[in-house]
Structure 1
Amino acid sequence: SESHSESHSKTFNTWVTSGPIKPPCTSACPVNADVQSFVTLVAQGRFKESLDAVRERCTLPGSLGRICHHPCEGECRRNDVDGAVNIRAIKRFAADICKDEPDYGPVPKTRGKKVAIIGGGPAGLTAAFDLSKDGFDVTIFEKNDACGGAIYTGVPKYRLPKDVVARDVAAIQSLGVEIKTNTAIGTDVQFDDLAKQYDAVLIAIGLSVSRGIPIPGADADGVLLALPFLKEANFNDNATVGKKVVVIGGGNVAFDVARSAKRLGAQQVNLCCLESRPEIPAFSWELDEAAEEDIAINPSWGPKEIKVVDGKVVGITFKRCTHVFDENRMFSPAYNEDELLDIEADNVVFSIGQGADMNGFTGTSLEVDGRGRIKWNPATFQTNLPNVFACGEVVTGPGAAVAAMRNAHDAATSIETFLTTGKIEPVTVLKPAPIGKLPDFTTLKITRKDKNDISVMDPAERLKSFVEAEGGFELQTAVYEAQRCMNCGRGATMARPEDCAACLSCVRVCPYGAPYISEARVAGFSWESCQACGICASVCPGLAIDIAYNDDTLINEQIDKGTSGVTVFGCQYAVPTIKNPASMASPSIPGVNMVRLMCTSRLDTRHLLRAVENGADGIAVLACPDEECRHRKGVNWAEIRTNEVKKVLEATGIGAGRIAFMGAPGGPEAFGRMMGEFKAKLDELGPNPVSKVLAVD
């Protein structure tokens, strides 16, 4: 951004809050990613553009495409039809298929200000992305040998291969971000020095310290902590574990530990937690996959004593937990000391919580509270030091990586404001209002398209190693799955109410019951019902209706590129030409100008005639058969429009043979053959007699 009138994060927030509503996937996403855009771009074969769209908010797309808990899918309106769009898998596909494509390249550092970021996890990397793109000189100080934070050191390789994290980090580094690894605060560099040397400092160190419980036997040989255990499993190919392992905890990290222990050779793994089965905080799929891997899950048990012989663990005793929370949902576990459970164990692994490593800040000017946590203002992200800010789990507490990334986006906004104006302002986070539920009538009218699930390695096979257990989509599967998106919120708008005659044309033709006539005798549209097919816009005699993201201005801009050759009108999905990555790009067809519509039902006679007036020698209209179209229209409006223009061309002597209605080609190769045959017929007719090219000559 050359003018830097807004920060990168502020610009995106402006988009999020523009317009009346957003798709529920965007509203549910913690970073409010433009899900609809990156999914649609994959559906169109524009993979690199899709990846760039993902990165604007989800700055670690390859990693999050594997480990995100995808709340977007839970709110997808296609759940009421045939299953949510597999958004997470599409995100992963865009990252994976573009893995060899060039990254951004350095952004000019035009601000003259330097920012130090302490911690290279998801939060620190996200803030570095925003601030670097805004023209600041950014340096990350990371204590480990590589960036990524918990997703690098803690998430097991069977869920997230480390080369994927490295690719995500490299893309951010390519912006011109300097990364200093193996650099610990307080040892290799002093915090107070950074606060003086840099215009702003952001502390984003996460929660890297595992906690234990001071019960009898907790100091015995064989008692381990979750995060060191996972780091060892990730990076030591010779790591081992006892035959009998007990994991204490019910969160996702505890399940990572239990499942890793199995892969390290443990024959018997018991996971014990305070929570009852319905209260277990780990994601449901973690419980399912752990059960598939023969991990015993023991809910409602709290540790009482670790049994020790000759200084080594031999077992552990649990006591029955009768409840975890009090009536106010505060953590207040109670036990029945008379009901006990004994389990033999060679190793006991505590996975009951995490804290921040604050050693590097001891004795510095940074203020911490009585519990050793950073004092900060959650509205501004500022600490007691004017130029020092904090974000991510170190201040918010544990949570999903994507939540820490949202926090970092907002922290970057605050830092940009401070460095630009010298002022500190609260960061207002506005949640976009989601579009409403699909009405039952509309649900019944939507074409069913079965959901594609990702492949998962058989449990017996995946336990043999730390090889990634989940597979990604192949190209055709990804394109198909992306085309299941219903483009929620991209539908009809009353753009020119003064031209609406309340003639009911839109009401009569809509398959979904979206249009209505208001008391003011102007057409309105229920966006809950509207599927963006565009029929209403094409039949409106007053030209009062637009389709969001596909208005006449956009369509005409595409038409005007064709001053000779063939202009082809088709659904945005009619020919998913692979435009990028370049290594896979479909060959372009010379002399063909594609005009992409939300649906060919959007096509109007004026669009076709404009192409003729521009000098196109031929016009092809591509449309799916009604039974295959994403919109069950009942009437093939594109064919009707084509036939209307045929009559005009024949009557004017231009020739009806210059326009052809064709079915969906089924792919770039079939499309190429179709165009070759059509152009051969046009050669017999000669150039368009109203060609602007001929007129200039």
Structure 2
Amino acid sequence: MAKALKGSITIGFKQPELLVSIQEKPIIRYKGPQKRLLEEKKYDVVSSPDQNWFPHNIPCRVNCPIGTDARSYSLAISEGKNQLAYLLARQNNPFVSTLGKVCSAPCEPDCTRGKIDAPVTIRALKGFAVEKNKLSTREVYEWLNMKKLGVDLPKGNRLPSIAIVGAGPAGLSAAHDLALTGYKVKVFEASSKPGGMLNAIPRYKLDDETIKRDVDGILFLGVEIETNRVCGKDFTIDELLGQYGAVLLAVGLQKAKRPNIQGIELKGVIHGIDFLRRAASGEKVELGKNVVVLGGGNVALDAARAALRIGGKNTKVSVVCIEVAKGKKRYSHEDEMPAEASEISEGGKEGVVFRTSLMPEEILGEHGKVKGLKVRPVSTVYDRDGRFNPVCKGKAQVLEADTVIFGLGQELDTSFTRGKKDLELGKEGLLKVDPQTLMTSKKGVFSCGDMVRSGYAVDAIASGQKAAQAIHKHLGGTGSLGLNGPQKIEPAHHHEKHDVWATRCSIWYGLPPRLSVKQRRGNMALIEGSYSNFEAKRQGQRCIDCSVSPMISPYNPCVICGSCEDACPAECIHLKLMNKADFNGLHKEVDGADGDGPWVSLIIDDTECIHCGACAEACWEDSIYMVKYKEVCG
């Protein structure tokens, strides 16, 4: 039973003789007979901040792969401190401008505010902070350098230089952290410009100027980039190892997956990533009247929505996939389209037609050009054991098509290895690395980004930062290169009343202004705009600040009256009769208690707490009060 308990627990042993506070959070604890404490007024007060509890009590931060302090920049915006908000968002994120527009926002689903109505619009607020930044690149780095403490470079007369292959978000993030620390970094990029897969994101989501702003910020540190330099052709990994202290491979997944289907050689067949790159560069692409995009993921949706904008008014775009539509569950959710629900919804509004549960069998052609697509109905995608095993039933049908775009994702192009066998591949065809150090099977060669584990841009950035840290350690450096780790924390009384929290909760969820569906057709204009100062401040005020938590006072012992339990809107406070055996292994202080119980216990579940302060206001003994835990540098 004890293992199932989470959060803060205060136990009254044989009230009022002894009170023991059991909490995993930072807490001021005391232990001893209540009678003696009251008579002698001697308190053994120990501040014991728990560095593990603090970040985990702030779900937006712990769920961000790069540890962005979204809570702090949201609250800064709520107070009109927009410049501070930018610095807080930027401190551990060299691609803050880019992620302000296209971050997958893994922080938002677990935002505590979502337990009340809807999460804080964290990504959109980041984008607002970026727009309000008025500091120069130099001034931003001066601020970052003040935050960067306790990092020592490798000892020796000559500092090792580092080669990075690939100028995408992973490689450039590693270059940023290493160069900011003092290393000399050179990046080799196969294409004509840096940015990697960011250059394939449709321009209605991410514009060129935003990417350039982030890349230029990294180059400001002295990072060198050589473009049009292909690994395995213009140079080899062994040659780099002979010139540099370490080599980092961050080439991404540049090769489009090619299905085994007849007709793939016909004119009018385009691979998704190739199409997206051409569309993003502004290149004119002839599509015809009927465009069919194969695939049910985000790449397919990006291609379909881009095709609608490139094609004329009469162009029809269909997405064909073997999965069922979202919400139409068969055996499991794995049977559903893997694309994000928001992408599917926006695509539908814009005019994309979804033809789900169809298996492509053949691309039909006439005079060497695409004429149609032969498909057959799919009854299930995965069998009852969860294995990928599509089953087709029913008669085949032919869909009209002038262009077929494969949006089936990408895979690793291994040509950069030049046939070398000392770089091992894993089961999924990705580069095999040590999960802790990110070093490949070849000593001194590291890897990061999609070629190690595919994901979103924010995941690639996090991977690059982890690789930079590993290289720093490999070369003999010490200290953390990142600025995302929680600092020393100190508790302080929080005097904000519950009615202020209630006012925050009265503010409705709101997104920035967006182009209407009619305005989107025929152009690549950015769909999403930015908040006004007034609305950004309001949306920032929706953050309920998870660094504020209830605390049991050591000076005003709980009398187990139940007022807090009655007042708690989240129902995360409970009174319960428990025995000593229920707490075995939970906290050492219980071991010193006399007897085996039962005792009346006050249980506060931090995982369900919404930090409203209702319990503190309801407690007439002042046994519970709200504490704000603040990070202190140094």
- Per-residue deviation at 1:334? 2.4
How far is the alpha carbon of 1:471 from its aligned partner? Answer: 1.3
> In the alignment, does 2:238 pair up with 1:192?
yes
Q: Which residue of structure 2 aligns with residue 610 of structure 1?
A: none
User: Using a 3 Å threshold, how does the CA distance of structure 1 residues 405 and 17 change in structure 2: closer, same or farther?
Assistant: farther
Which residue of the partner structure matches residue 438 of structure 2? 381
1:334 alignment partner, SS class: strand
Whether 2:403 is the aligned partner of 1:326: answer no
Change (3 A) 1:122 1:39: same
- Asked if 2 retains the 8 angstrom alpha-carbon contact of 1:63 and 1:164, the reply is yes
Change (3 A) 1:467 1:147: same
- Is 1:531 paired with 2:600? no
Corresponding residue number in structure 2 for 1:276: 324
5+ long unaligned stretches in structure 2:
1-48, 327-335, 479-484, 487-498, 577-589, 594-599
Contact 1:117 1:128 (8 Å CA) reproduced: yes
One-letter code aligned to 2:253: L
Q: Secondary structure at the match of 2:287?
A: coil
Residue equivalent to 1:312? 369
Distance (whole Å) between structure 1 residues aligned to residue 386 and residue 561 of structure 2 = 55
Report what 1:69 is aligned to: 104
Look up the SS of the partner of 1:319 in the other structure.
strand
Which amino acid is the alignment partner of residue 122 of structure 1?
A: P
Alignment of 1:387-466 (within 5 A): 387-396=444-453, 398-420=454-476, 447-466=505-524
Match of 2:27 in 1: none
Aligned to 1:133: 180
Q: Distance in 2 between matches of 1:516 and 1:285?
A: 38
Once the two structures are overlaid, the 10-residue window that deviates more, 379-388 or 15-24, is: 15-24
**Residue type of the partner of 1:481?**
Q
Give the distance between the partners of 2:523 and 2:134, measured in 1 at CA. Answer: 24
Please, which of 173, 197, 201 is the counterpart of residue 155 of structure 1? 201
Aligned-pair identity (%): 30
Paired with 1:395 and 1:47, the residues of 2 have a C-alpha distance of 36
Q: Which amino acid aligns with 1:72?
A: C
Amino acid at match of 2:321: C
By how many angstroms is 1:225 displaced?
Answer: 0.5
Give 1:216 shift. 1.7
Letter matched to residue 302 of structure 1? M
| Cα distance, 1:100 vs structure 2 | 6.4
Deviation of residue 228 (structure 1)?
A: 0.9
**Alignment map for 1:109-258 (pairs within 5 Å):** 111=154, 112-152=159-199, 154-258=200-304
Alignment equivalent of 2:395, drawn from 310, 316, 339: 339
**1:551-606 Cα distance to aligned partner (Å, 9 max, x none):** 9x99xxxxxxxxxxxxxxxxxxxxxxxxxxxxxxxxxxxxxxxxxxxxxxxxxxxx
Counterpart position of 2:66: 31
The answer to whether the 8 A contact 2:108-2:121 is kept is yes
503 and 373 in structure 1: CA distance in 2 versus 1, 3 angstrom threshold: closer
Q: How does 1:536-555 map to 2 (within 5 A)?
A: 547-549=627-629
Cα distance in 1, alignment partners of residues 348 and 625 from structure 2: 54
Aligned CA distance change for structure 1 residues 373 and 69 (closer, same or farther; 3 Å): closer
Matches within 5 A, 1:455-494: 455-493=513-551
**Compared with structure 1, are the counterparts of its residues 491 and 345 closer, same or farther at alpha carbon in structure 2 (3 Å cutoff)?**
same
Aligned residue for 1:71, secondary structure, equals coil
Residue 475 of structure 1 and its aligned partner are, at CA, apart by 1.6
Report the 3-state secondary structure (helix = DSSP H, G, I; strand = E; otherwise coil) of the residue aligned with 1:213: coil
Equivalent position SS for 1:491: strand
For the Cα contact (< 8 Å) 2:177–2:468, is it kept in 1?
yes
Q: Tell me the distance in 1 between the aligned counterparts of 2:621 and 2:373.
A: 79
Is 1:53 matched up with 2:88? yes
Matched, 1:356 2:412: yes
Alpha-carbon offset, residue 254 of structure 1? 0.5
Q: Which secondary structure does the structure 2 equivalent of 1:182 belong to?
A: coil
Matched residues in 2 for 1:258 and 1:110: separation? 48
Equivalenced residue count is 518
Distance 1:268 1:237 in 2: 20
Q: Is the 8 Å Cα contact of residues 383 and 390 (structure 1) preserved in structure 2?
A: yes
1:473-493: per-residue Cα shift (whole Å, max 9, x none)?
122211111111000132344
- Cα displacement string for residues 222-277 of structure 1 (whole angstroms, at most 9, x for unaligned residues): 11101111111111343332221111111111011111111111511111001111
One-letter code of the match for 1:89?
A
For residues 344-384 of structure 1, give each alpha carbon's deviation from its aligned partner in whole angstroms, at most 9, with x where no partner exists: 11111111121123222214474234986433222321112
Moved more, 103-112 or 267-276: 103-112
**2 CA distance for matches of 1:421 and 1:170?**
27
Displacement, 1:459? Answer: 1.0
Deviation at 1:283, TM superposition (A): 0.6
Instruction: Write out aligned runs for 1:559-570 (5 A).
Output: none
User: Aligned partners of 2:416, 2:129: CA distance in 1, in Å?
Assistant: 39
Displacement of 1:314 in angstroms is 0.9
What RMSD, in angstroms, separates the aligned Cα atoms of the two structures?
Answer: 3.8
Work out which of the two has the higher radius of gyration on C-alpha atoms and give 1 or 2.
1
Amino acid at match of 1:120: A
Instruction: Give CA-to-partner distance per residue, 1:68-124, whole Å, 9 cap, x none.
Output: 222322212222323221111001111122276435448799542222221121211
TM-score, length of structure 2 as denominator length: 0.73
Structure with more relative contact order (C-alpha pairs < 8 Å, separation 6 or more): 2
Give CA-to-partner distance per residue, 1:491-532, whole Å, 9 cap, x none: 3445x83x4455899978997589999999999976554637
SS at match of 2:118: coil
User: What corresponds to 1:43 in structure 2?
Assistant: 78
List gaps (5 residues or longer) in structure 1.
Answer: 1-13, 423-428, 431-440, 555-697
Letter in 2 for 1:378: P
After superposing the two structures, state which structure 1 stretch, 347-356 or 133-142, moved more: 133-142
Tell me how far apart the structure 2 counterparts of residues 231 and 533 of structure 1 sit (CA, whole Å). 51
TM-score with structure 1 setting the length: 0.67
The CA distance in 2 between the partners of 1:46 and 1:442, in whole Å, is: 19
CA offsets per residue over residues 123-182 of structure 1, 9 Å max, x none?
Answer: 112222332333322222222233221112x11000111111111222223333333333
